[in-house]
Structure 1
Amino acid sequence: MRIRSIQPLLRILALVLVTPVAHAAGAGSPRAGEIITEAGTTKTAQGETVSYELGTLFVPENRAVGNSRLIGVGFARIKAARPTGAPPIFILPGGPARSYLNAFTDEDAAAKKQLAGVFPFTAAGDVVVMDQRGYSKRGEELLVARPRQPLDRPRTLAADAAEMVKLAQDAMAAHPDKDLAGYTVVQCAEDVNDLRRALGYEQITLSGQSFGSQWSFAVMKLHPEIVARAWLSGVEPLDNSFDMPSHVFAVLQRIAWDADRAPELAPWLPKGGVMEALRAVHARLASGPLRVKVKDAATGKQRTVVLGLEDFRASLLMPPEAWPAFVLSLYHRHYDDWARAVLQERQAETSPVRILAPLIDSSLGVSAQRAHLLRTDPGTEALGMTDFDALIASADAWPTPPVEESLRLPVPSPIPVLFFHGDWDTSTPIDNTLGMLPYFPNGRALLVHRGVHHTRAPVFEQHPDILPRVIAFLKTGDTRDFPVNVSLPVPPFQKPSFPPGR
């Protein structure tokens, strides 16, 4: 039966009482570590039928507290096309506060794309896709209303920190019945181990993208004996929740190299190229904020938006094909598009905040040494501290306890790890992978020139020989057949929205 929507948790529990299901909990309330599953089918974009199990794992909300209430964590499993003898692949989503279960519950283009990123790996073994506690429709989604931000003053670090403290207070007020201290990367790692045990696997292979890679590092640190191998991309080590500004700035420089040579951008380029335009805009905004009048798309009324240097710094990290045009537009004093985007962001109320991210990030934080390096990094002159200052400053306002310093710091590991990382990744710079490689003597890195944060699909599209090698690695852990680097083509860069010279 095709499952078209995820059932609410209470309906699932009722189903358990009347219908036999695989690995079902006994009648009545579930116990910690138990699962329930339902069978379903879907089709790939090519029309191939995929059979799967959609399930819920029940875990303590906070294992540090006796008699903690149970919460649900969703998962799905596709059995291997044929037995391979290899461990199952546990796919851990990024975020935090992301889910891949839409691949099984929805039928739109996004779901088919998500399924295409999962299904091929059944050639290597069973595939298990896991949700995150606190962001799972099979359990609970921790959300809080998004506060509006003022339009009459520019963004500042102090205002960001105060807003983050207010968000923490709002989150606790909105969820008085929940133990928010239980939403940490450590608890997420224990959820993986509980699901492994409930499904009857001795060892697993981890597949993690972005926060999924950080989650994977936590599993490898806390339960190395259960991890046969790992495939990580958009790599985020446990001590790298906040990016080093100079590493991100180097990514912008690499993008600018190709942008300066793109014929479509040539009419707008100043002497010195995109980076010279960036420096000029930075200096202009450092001298004082701008007041820009634009029409509010929601009301049709004229509004004034005050834009400052921190607004500019926070806006820089956009897709590579769009970033140069954004900077060139501001260089030529065309601010309207930027002002409209900031107005929409500051006044947005429709999308609530997924508080799992600050709960996990405030608990994990960074080591004292990395905090010092972040604040004294020369890249802060260009990019500032917007990536990390507010969360570090507000960490005590969040209820999640800080992790032990020893968890954050890497240690040598014999686990075979295959790293994918793009050198155009502004979300998790490639330096993250380069810094972790020495700790994994059985590891291998595929460095992707012009690869962005989500680089797996583009690599498989441009280099179809890589996918069979990944499947072979997932089966055996052997990385010897991998190249060191591959390249992706230069993307077509977006043009500024106004004619040259105007």
Structure 2
Amino acid sequence: MRRVVVARVTKLVISVSLMGSAATAMGSAPAPGVGSIVSETRTLTTADGVKVNYEIGTFYVPENRHKAKSRPIGVGFARIRAPRPTGAPPVFWLPGGPGLAVLGAFDPSDNAGRGRLKSWINFGAVADLVVVEQRGYTSRGEMLEVKTDAYPLNEPATIARSKAGALAKARKALALFPGKDLAGYDIGAYADDVDDLRKALGYDSITLFGGSFGAQWSFAVMKRHPGSVARAVLSGVEPLDNGYDMPSHVYASMQRIAFDADRDPGLKPYLPEGGTMAALRAVHDRFAAAPVVVSVTDKASGKPVAVTLGVGDFENALVERAAEASEWPAFVLSLYHRHYDDWARDTIEERKAGKSAVIGPLVDTSLGVTPARAHRLRTDPAVGVLGEWNFAPYMAAAEAWPTADMGDAFRGVVPTDTPVVFVHGDWDTSTPIENTLEVLPYYSHGHAIVVHRGGHDGTFYLLREDAKAKAAVYEFMRTGSMEGLPSSVTLPLPTFAKPAFAANDL
């Protein structure tokens, strides 16, 4: 396959919104002021031979919107104009994360970005498309990251150590960025960045399109700037009070995956009585009773390496592996039959030092949860199987991060007449489908498409098997019409992976 090639740069554009002063000529000029846009128009040809004209640039916003004369920081964005006017509001595409930079889609060396760009081109039938990156994690501004410490191999993972690590990360970030005003990176600022960019680009209203954190970000925009949002399409829905997943909802998604896995002929010889979920509980009980030390051969050195695996490691791995539904049952069944080597090798890699985006905990702790949801999280029955990993470390470190709590009034769901289409998979273990079901009654012009066997994916990937449904979503974005939108879509059964050992070895 040919690579995407940037053909030419056509011109440099410097524009200014009503918020700030104009940037002067580039070079020795001072940094652009708040409200300035520095951008250029380019043309590229995709591997499929499609010519794409686009604008890519940086929008300057105040780092701390709560302080006068806060220094300007850059937020990357790109705009692909519709080939012809449609009269529809532009689509503002908000990425997930927090901590996901997406403008690499225009970089010929970004393999993952090519599929994203191919999808973006299709929005031209709706209206202009504007892709907005996140303050503090943008390819055309600052990428705020801290190095994470390695986790010792001779100790099992524990909640206590995870809480201590979350606190250490906060302190390290504050020490690493003394010149940054990290208090300015709350969820409200991200919402205001979108609305200010809307005004700077000259749009009266917009359509929001987001998944996962992009959906939560969209909720924040609608909460703070309701008059500017014409409609929205949200997938992998994460409401403002649902930043921390309810364990029982995650567990229910696992049960739905297990239902089909238990009927797969290839997995049947590996199943205990009670199926995949019975195997899961048996493994949990085993590791809760005592950790296990597993020795494997290090690929790099060829020497044996031992790692201690405990119930916390299993709880973490359960949720992480469930994101790949077709692989997850084989993982659980392998551990049930005491085949730990592959898991041990993965855990050794995961425990190495790495990098982590700072904006994740800054945003999440600014959002927090209502007291009612906090109570439900701590007393949820599935905590006994999945643990408190999804929320306890964040809550323990919340006061160490400088972003202020947004408050219960902001987090709470209120009735609204903004038209929203929710697309959600019932195999989603990252943002369970119960998220959508909880907020849907508050949307008088809301419509949910439940995708059976759909995971934590974007709208059009979830609807990949239903061309009519995809066309109806595009029509909704263009006109606001909900005609033709299905209530449910069923994806075909996946091919479930089998454990790496033969069933007759059991």
TM-score (norm 2): 0.94
CA contact (8 A) 1:102 1:114 kept: no
Match of 1:239 among 214, 238, 241: 241
C-alpha distance after superposition, 1:275-334 (max 9, x if no partner): 111111011111111111112223332121111111101001221011101110010001
**Aligned twin of 2:378:** 375
1:483 is the counterpart of 2:486:
yes
Match of 1:327 among 321, 329, 332: 332
Distance 1:178 1:4, change over 3 A: farther
Task: Determine the C-alpha separation between the residues in 1 that align with 2:14 and 2:204.
Answer: 19
1:23 is the counterpart of 2:11:
no
Task: Determine the C-alpha separation between the residues in 2 that align with 1:324 and 1:176.
Answer: 46
**Aligned twin of 1:12:** none
Match of 1:469 among 449, 469, 472: 472
Secondary structure in structure 2 of the residue aligned to 1:316: helix
Secondary structure in structure 2 of the residue aligned to 1:117: helix
**Aligned twin of 2:19:** none
**Aligned twin of 2:349:** 344
Task: Determine the C-alpha separation between the residues in 2 that align with 1:215 and 1:394.
Answer: 22
TM-score (norm 1): 0.94
C-alpha distance after superposition, 1:18-53 (max 9, x if no partner): x75152643133121111111112233421111100
1:450 is the counterpart of 2:479:
no
Q: Residue type of the partner of 1:298?
A: A
**Aligned twin of 1:116:** 118
**Aligned twin of 2:207:** 205
Distance 1:148 1:248, change over 3 A: same
Q: CA deviation at 1:270?
A: 1.4
Q: Residue type of the partner of 1:300?
A: G
**Aligned twin of 1:60:** 62
Task: Determine the C-alpha separation between the residues in 2 that align with 1:227 and 1:433.
Answer: 19
Instruction: Show structure 2 runs of 5+ residues with no match.
Output: 17-21
Q: CA deviation at 1:456?
A: 2.5
Secondary structure in structure 2 of the residue aligned to 1:118: helix
Task: Determine the C-alpha separation between the residues in 1 that align with 2:299 and 2:12.
Answer: 53
CA contact (8 A) 1:447 1:485 kept: yes
1:273-352 alignment, distance < 5 Å: 273-317=275-319, 318=321, 319-347=324-352, 349=353, 351-352=354-355
Higher mean alpha-carbon deviation, 247-256 vs 452-461, is at: 452-461
Higher mean alpha-carbon deviation, 461-470 vs 481-490, is at: 461-470
Secondary structure in structure 1 of the residue aligned to 2:351: helix
Task: Determine the C-alpha separation between the residues in 1 that align with 2:221 and 2:108.
Answer: 29
Distance 1:450 1:352, change over 3 A: same
Secondary structure in structure 1 of the residue aligned to 2:283: helix
C-alpha distance after superposition, 1:127-152 (max 9, x if no partner): 00000000001110001112100111
CA contact (8 A) 1:97 1:357 kept: yes
Match of 2:261 among 256, 259, 278: 259
Match of 2:143 among 141, 159, 177: 141
CA contact (8 A) 2:6 2:45 kept: no
1:494 is the counterpart of 2:497:
yes
1:393 is the counterpart of 2:390:
no
C-alpha distance after superposition, 1:146-177 (max 9, x if no partner): 21001111111110000000011111111111
Task: Determine the C-alpha separation between the residues in 2 that align with 1:472 and 1:30.
Answer: 38
Secondary structure in structure 1 of the residue aligned to 2:102: coil
C-alpha distance after superposition, 1:387-435 (max 9, x if no partner): 1110011111111111121100010111000100000000000000011
CA contact (8 A) 1:443 1:479 kept: no
Q: Residue type of the partner of 2:479?
A: T
Q: Residue type of the partner of 1:139?
A: G
1:94-173 alignment, distance < 5 Å: 94-173=96-175
CA contact (8 A) 1:268 1:501 kept: no
CA contact (8 A) 1:420 1:448 kept: yes
CA contact (8 A) 1:422 1:455 kept: no
Q: CA deviation at 1:116?
A: 2.0
CA contact (8 A) 1:220 1:227 kept: yes
Task: Determine the C-alpha separation between the residues in 2 that align with 1:139 and 1:109.
Answer: 22
Task: Determine the C-alpha separation between the residues in 2 that align with 1:429 and 1:154.
Answer: 28
Task: Determine the C-alpha separation between the residues in 2 that align with 1:128 and 1:330.
Answer: 46
**Aligned twin of 2:85:** 83
C-alpha distance after superposition, 1:335-359 (max 9, x if no partner): 1111111111002x3x411111111
Task: Determine the C-alpha separation between the residues in 2 that align with 1:96 and 1:295.
Answer: 35
Q: Residue type of the partner of 1:398?
A: W
Distance 1:142 1:4, change over 3 A: farther
Q: How many residues are treated as equivalent by the alignment?
A: 488
Q: CA deviation at 1:108?
A: 4.1
Percent identical: 51
CA contact (8 A) 2:5 2:46 kept: no
Q: CA deviation at 1:460?
A: 3.8
Higher mean alpha-carbon deviation, 444-453 vs 262-271, is at: 262-271
Q: CA deviation at 1:461?
A: 2.5
Secondary structure in structure 1 of the residue aligned to 2:464: helix
**Aligned twin of 1:10:** none
CA contact (8 A) 1:59 1:191 kept: yes
Q: Residue type of the partner of 2:334?
A: S
Distance 1:299 1:146, change over 3 A: farther
Secondary structure in structure 1 of the residue aligned to 2:155: coil
CA contact (8 A) 1:3 1:104 kept: no
CA contact (8 A) 1:3 1:40 kept: no
CA contact (8 A) 2:6 2:44 kept: no
Instruction: Show structure 1 runs of 5+ residues with no match.
Output: 8-14
What CA RMSD, in Å, does the superposition of the two structures yield over aligned residues? 1.7
Q: CA deviation at 1:362?
A: 1.2
